Structure 1
Amino acid sequence: MLVFSVIKNLLFFDSCILNFFIPYILLEKFLRFKVKSQYVIILMLITCNIPFLIVSKFNIESVYQWIPTAIWIFMFSLIFCKGTYLKKIIITIAYVCFNELIQYVTIPVTYMTDYYIIIANSFYKAEQVRAIINYIFLIILQLLYLLILNFIVKNHYFDYKFKNFKYTIFFVVPNVFIVSLICEYFKLYYKNNMRNYLLGNIKMLGFAFTGLICAVFTVITLAKIAQETIIRERELLLKQQFSIQTQHYKDLQVQIKNTRTFRHDINNHLICIKNLLLQGDIKSTENYLKKITRSLEKISLRVSTGNSFADAVISEKYNISIDKGIDFKCDAKIPNKIKIDPFDLCIVLGNALDNAIEACEKITDNSIKKYIHITSTINKSFIVFEIKNR
């Protein structure tokens, strides 16, 4: 008897720990806390029994017992967690949905153990065995719950932010619908006393398990859709980057051709300048030198950071700026051995320069000279880009 009692108490303790750990992980991973973790743990330990006390005090029906839990989770996240109100509402809904599915699975199992596990001449021992089986089953489901949360964190969230609001809504709505259907069946389960029959309990268990599996598959499906969307967006950006690189290569070919032409004509230019100086025509010499200088400016590289990927992006934005009447100057230098993915570098520079060009376009006063100036500084292993515009 003592062995059964010890095992039951240990399992009860483990179940309580997991029951506390699940909302803690949920809030910490999805929202993050405003205060230190140790304070949150203490406050959770003090307040986690409030929903159960409310249920007991007001004798709330089982199908509505999720309401105090939802209020507690939302209020706790509201006071102690970061994030928007919408995120906190969605997290609360997600927690309640999966929590209810776990409850709907455990209830028929509890009734089945009560009715069908009987030990002759030992009511207390039978009660202990039933409790042990129920706790083992509950702990298995709680561990499954943690695995589901871990999967959602890895596939739907990044840096404590929702990856995509649309997919978040698609995640919440189907799960609410699934829980609502099972809740309606649960009412019938109680109303028709199906809990007193083996077949009724098996049906309830089957519906609850089906709902749980559907909820998990909803997460998996949406995760795959989200990943495919990210891949498509990345492919689109790569195509744009390839187009920019191609245009940059063509511009370089034109510059090389112009440089060769200028080098071929340099002797003729020097002869003309020499003759003008011998004739004493200083003014014509100055005008001729100005023309040569303008020619040199046209064939010189306007953007030369030392990184071909950055050169391609900045050159494209340079051409766009000049076409829009915006002066553009680039004094940025990027080391060859910089530890940054070229793809990310192009996105950062492209977005920043697009914002600068857009800001300049909003200037309606023609007396204001529009310009964009990009510089860079190296600080240990960091590179800092500064873009000034007006």
Structure 2
Amino acid sequence: MMQFNQTTYDFLFRFIDVCGLFFDAALIVFLVNHYFSLRRSNLKQKPVLFYGFSFFCICVFLYVTGFSRDFFWFVLSIFSVIFIYSLLLFRGSFVMKLSISCIYCSVYFMLDGVYLSLYRYLTASFEEIPNTISLTVFFFQRIICKIFMYFIIRFLLKNAADLDSSVPSVYSTCLTVFCGFDILLMLLQIFYISPIEPKIAATPFLSLFMAGTFAMILCFFYLFTSMIRNYKENISYRLMEKEWMLHKQYLDQTRDLLTASRQFRHDIKAHLFCMEGLIEQKKYDELKSYLHQFSHSDFLTIPFQTICADESLNTLLNQKLKMASNKKIPMKIDVQISNHLSVQKLDLCTILSNLCDNAIEASVSVADPLIQIQLKEIKGYLSLTVKNRTEEDVLKKNPSFITTKKDQNLHGLGITIIRNIVKKYNGSVSFSSDSSSFTCFVLLENLRDKTYKAPAA
């Protein structure tokens, strides 16, 4: 076995320790970045700011854990960096961020408990532990255990990441309690039992008990991921039902519009013949009254405007114009697109229909309503902006877009449908609001000669 002098051993110990700290920091960033979504979408466009702050968090972590060998500060720094890092930059519930912090610490201390048990066994077996064995055990704690942690974290994130819905609070609470209990056992073993009863601390009872508690956490998490899979299947069926209803509504409205158009063309000759007769008889007062009634007929109240060249999109926008007009809501539409789009018309109409319906519904209770719609092509992308006036900050009041309608089985899925379509076209969707307006901005990739397929569920 290769032997080194004490200085070399000290250097290797310190080098492994620093590498272990970098592993800890990298695992923290990996965990948070893959579980939560960024709080502000513009951070994706400013990677220097995002990664700069991440590097700052890593430096703080390394400083606290590397220069302070007090175990209490080591524990506090691991928990605090995860929690504060996720709290400042990422979306998600407060309880879930607390739970994730506890999960990480629980995994960390469980593996550290294995190291402590192994170290105590060696202490009991050797009067003086050889440097080579001590270095090997330390390498296991600081490096090998981190590799195990990486695969454990990937298991935890496998089915729980990228959820469109919030995690049930009961799950988060129970998971936090389990993980907190496991951490307390570890701290109890380190700070209380070990100094007072070394013989008890040297037994594997507490380590096995901690491992059992952690196994319960993994089982609990596995049961929850199974519930997530069932929930996703249920959501997919509900989304299909919602999309079918939207398509049926679109077809019904188109059919009604075509029926009214045919009826108008059928009746226009009779109306013209009647007006011609009134002119010949010089009954101008009756003609004026007749023209007034004719001009206020249902079909002519909102004339069919040529908003864009695409017939399906043009029909949909005219339908929404009529819906808004019936509720006395002004609507301004600006469409600047070509006839050849890579985005499927059905997907575009689905997004437009959802956003227009939401804007019209939100504008009903506004004193001075106005809806603005802009659709245009920008450098290989299709840009859609829908803005409506409000009387309060919508995102501040309801950041998760939780529906308040009675039929919650189908309502509230519009945003999810939009996000699925956006994902299909490698795009993005963002929302902004203030005290007087709410805006939705959708960006869809619109590359020519490219076929887009829906992402796998």
TM-score (norm 2): 0.61
> Which structure's CA Rg is the greater one?
1
Change (3 A) 1:354 1:289: same
Give the match for residue 17 of structure 1. Answer: 19
Q: Quick check: 1:248 aligned with 2:255?
A: no
| Contact in 2 for aligned 1:105/1:208 (Cα 8 Å) | no
| Contact in 1 for aligned 2:355/2:386 (Cα 8 Å) | no
**RMSD between aligned residues:** 4.7
| Contact in 2 for aligned 1:331/1:374 (Cα 8 Å) | yes
Residue pairs, 1:176-215, within 5 angstroms: 176-180=180-184, 191=197, 193-194=199-200, 200-201=203-204, 203-215=205-217
| Contact in 1 for aligned 2:109/2:186 (Cα 8 Å) | no
TM-score (norm 1): 0.69
Q: Quick check: 1:297 aligned with 2:300?
A: yes
Give the match for residue 48 of structure 1. Answer: 65
Deviations 1:48-101 (A, max 9, x none): 22441xx3xxxxxxxxx4x32243245656887724894765554333322221
Change (3 A) 1:222 1:4: farther
Give the match for residue 103 of structure 1. Answer: 112
What is the number of residues matched between the two proteins? 362
Larger relative contact order (C-alpha < 8 A, sep ≥ 6)? 1
Unaligned runs of 5+ in 2: 39-49, 391-457
Residue pairs, 1:1-390, within 5 angstroms: 1-2=1-2, 13-14=15-16, 16-27=18-29, 29-30=31-32, 35-52=52-69, 55=70, 65=71, 67-73=72-78, 76=81, 82-83=88-89, 86=94, 89-90=98-99, 92-116=101-125, 126-129=130-133, 131-133=135-137, 135-136=139-140, 139-153=143-157, 155-158=159-162, 164=167, 166=169, 167-180=171-184, 191=197, 193-194=199-200, 200-201=203-204, 203-293=205-295, 294=297, 296-297=299-300, 306=310, 315=319, 319=323, 321=324, 324-328=327-331, 330=333, 332=335, 337=341, 339=343, 346=350, 350=354, 353-354=357-358, 357-363=361-367, 370-380=369-379, 381-389=381-389
| Contact in 1 for aligned 2:376/2:384 (Cα 8 Å) | yes
Tell me the amino acid that sits aligned with residue 246 of structure 1: K
Change (3 A) 1:18 1:361: same
User: How much does 1:106 deviate?
Assistant: 1.6
Deviations 1:202-223 (A, max 9, x none): x444334333333333333333
* Whole-Å separation in 1 of the counterparts to 2:200 and 2:383: 68
* Whole-Å separation in 1 of the counterparts to 2:246 and 2:259: 20
Deviations 1:291-319 (A, max 9, x none): 44435426965897748599769947964
User: How much does 1:383 deviate?
Assistant: 0.8
Change (3 A) 1:289 1:212: same
Tell me the amino acid that sits aligned with residue 326 of structure 1: I
Unaligned runs of 5+ in 1: 56-64
| Contact in 2 for aligned 1:259/1:299 (Cα 8 Å) | no
Change (3 A) 1:349 1:265: closer
Give the match for residue 60 of structure 1. Answer: none
* Whole-Å separation in 2 of the counterparts to 1:341 and 1:152: 39
* Whole-Å separation in 2 of the counterparts to 1:310 and 1:145: 55
User: How much does 1:43 deviate?
Assistant: 4.3
Change (3 A) 1:313 1:291: closer
* Whole-Å separation in 2 of the counterparts to 1:245 and 1:281: 49
Instruction: Name the SS for the 1:98 alignment partner.
Output: helix
Change (3 A) 1:258 1:318: closer
Tell me the amino acid that sits aligned with residue 21 of structure 2: N
User: How much does 1:275 deviate?
Assistant: 2.5
Instruction: Name the SS for the 1:376 alignment partner.
Output: strand
| Contact in 1 for aligned 2:359/2:387 (Cα 8 Å) | no
